[in-house]
């Protein structure tokens, strides 16, 4: 079932009644309700929002990712369940003991899938993706010669122009990309938790200060779906210098984006769970291939 994403930017009070999330004005009547089981994400973007611990407990039990925004209205932290899979201990052990050759092969698959999807997005918007397709074929184990970085330079120049520099603190549309990637990262972390995996322990990313290294690994082939939405925002709001509510709402549509994974088409949120479940099977030795989506 497709889960809903709720974006709350007013100083409401959130509570629980009959397994429904209840949105109310402070000391006022309820405004809206939503079944907890239908929710995948809750984005809280106001410092005056309040909520009950019983609601938090129910959200946690249903593996809902709760994303908190900071004073700049950017996602800064999230609430995720610690015990979301009945064989989590077994999967943690398999993940921790994964061999280096396996992890290098998984990263090779990830980089190949990312570059191929970047090439397909370029072709979809009328650009030449043939060079990226050639690069994808040359990726080696663990991407030892950094084909990912080489492809990225070509990709960004083709997508947003030769003057564009992808930088977290750079000029537009970097702020849109940042917001979209943070939402995507939250979604991947939620899917990893649901599949019983430890989001901290990556297959390639190893930053000691990063609590979501595996999420940063697995999100890579999904980035072009964010990039496509950003292209749409650039077209609809040309010259926009600030990230406003309208653009945030557009980026949150990412979770319901239609993607092809395997032989089926699924919402991106569902596809992520399929990808992370296949990764868990790689760690347990049931398969050696991650199921990634194909951009169309």
Under the banding of pLDDT at 50, 70 and 90, the label for residue 77 is: confident
Q: Quick check: 42 and 64 in contact, CB under 8 A?
A: yes
**pLDDT of the residue at 1:** 58
Q: pLDDT by residue (tens digit) across 232-273? A: 999 999 888 888 889 999 999 998 899 999 889 999 988 999
In whole angstroms, give the CA distance from residue 56 to residue 14: 10
Q: Which residues of 236-290 form beta strands (DSSP E)?
A: 258-261, 264-267
Sorted by sequence, the CB contacts under 8 Å of residue 96 that are 6+ apart come out as 198, 201
In whole angstroms, give the CA distance from residue 15 to residue 31: 12
Sorted by sequence, the CB contacts under 8 Å of residue 116 that are 6+ apart come out as 132, 133, 136, 294, 295
Q: pLDDT by residue (tens digit) across 39-71? A: 888 999 999 999 999 999 999 888 788 889 888
Q: Which position has the token pair 């663990």?
A: 142
Q: pLDDT by residue (tens digit) across 114-154? A: 999 999 999 999 999 999 999 999 999 999 999 999 999 99
In whole angstroms, give the CA distance from residue 127 to residue 228: 13
Model-level pTM?
A: 0.88
Q: Which position has the token pair 């000691």?
A: 208
In whole angstroms, give the CA distance from residue 250 to residue 285: 39
**Nearest in space to 152 (alpha carbons), one of 184, 126, 182, 114:** 114
**pLDDT of the residue at 241:** 82
Q: Six-digit token pair at 145?
A: 């010669």
**Nearest in space to 15 (alpha carbons), one of 38, 36, 40:** 36
Domains and CATH numbers, the chain: 4-79 (3.100.10.20), 88-284 (1.20.120.920)
Average pLDDT of the residues of the chain: 91
Q: Which position has the token pair 């077209």?
A: 235
Write the burial class of residue 143 (CB in 10 Å: 0-12 exposed, 13-18 middle, 19+ buried): buried
């Amino acid at each position: 079932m497709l889960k809903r994403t709720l974006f709350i930017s007013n100083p409401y009070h959130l509570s629980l009644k009959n397994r429904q999330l209840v949105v109310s004005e402070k000391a006022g009547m309820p405004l809206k309700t939503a079944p907890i089981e239908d929710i995948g994400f809750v984005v809280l973007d106001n410092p005056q929002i309040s909520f009950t611990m019983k609601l938090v407990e129910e959200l946690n039990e249903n593996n809902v990712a709760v994303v908190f925004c900071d004073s700049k209205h950017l996602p800064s932290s999230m609430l995720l369940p610690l015990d979301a899979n009945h064989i989590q201990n077994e999967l943690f052990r398999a993940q921790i003991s994964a061999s280096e050759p396996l992890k290098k092969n998984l990263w090779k698959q990830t980089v190949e899938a990312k570059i191929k999807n970047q090439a397909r997005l370029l072709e979809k918007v009328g650009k030449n993706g043939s060079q990226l397709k050639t690069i994808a074929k040359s990726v080696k184990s663990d991407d030892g010669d950094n084909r990912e970085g080489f492809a990225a330079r070509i990709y960004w120049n083709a997508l947003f122009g030769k003057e564009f520099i992808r930088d977290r603190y750079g000029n537009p549309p970097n702020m849109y990309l940042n917001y979209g990637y943070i939402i995507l990262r939250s979604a991947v972390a939620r899917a990893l938790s649901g599949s019983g995996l430890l989001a901290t322990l990556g297959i390639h990313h190893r930053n000691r200060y990063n609590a979501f290294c595996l999420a940063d690994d697995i999100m890579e082939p999904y980035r072009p779906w964010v990039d496509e939405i950003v292209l749409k925002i650039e077209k609809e709001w040309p010259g926009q210098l600030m990230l406003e509510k309208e653009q945030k709402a557009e980026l949150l549509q990412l979770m319901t984006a239609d993607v092809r994974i395997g032989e089926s088409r699924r919402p991106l949120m569902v596809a992520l769970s399929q990808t992370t479940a296949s990764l868990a099977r790689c760690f347990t030795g049931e398969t050696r291939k991650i199921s990634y989506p194909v951009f169309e």
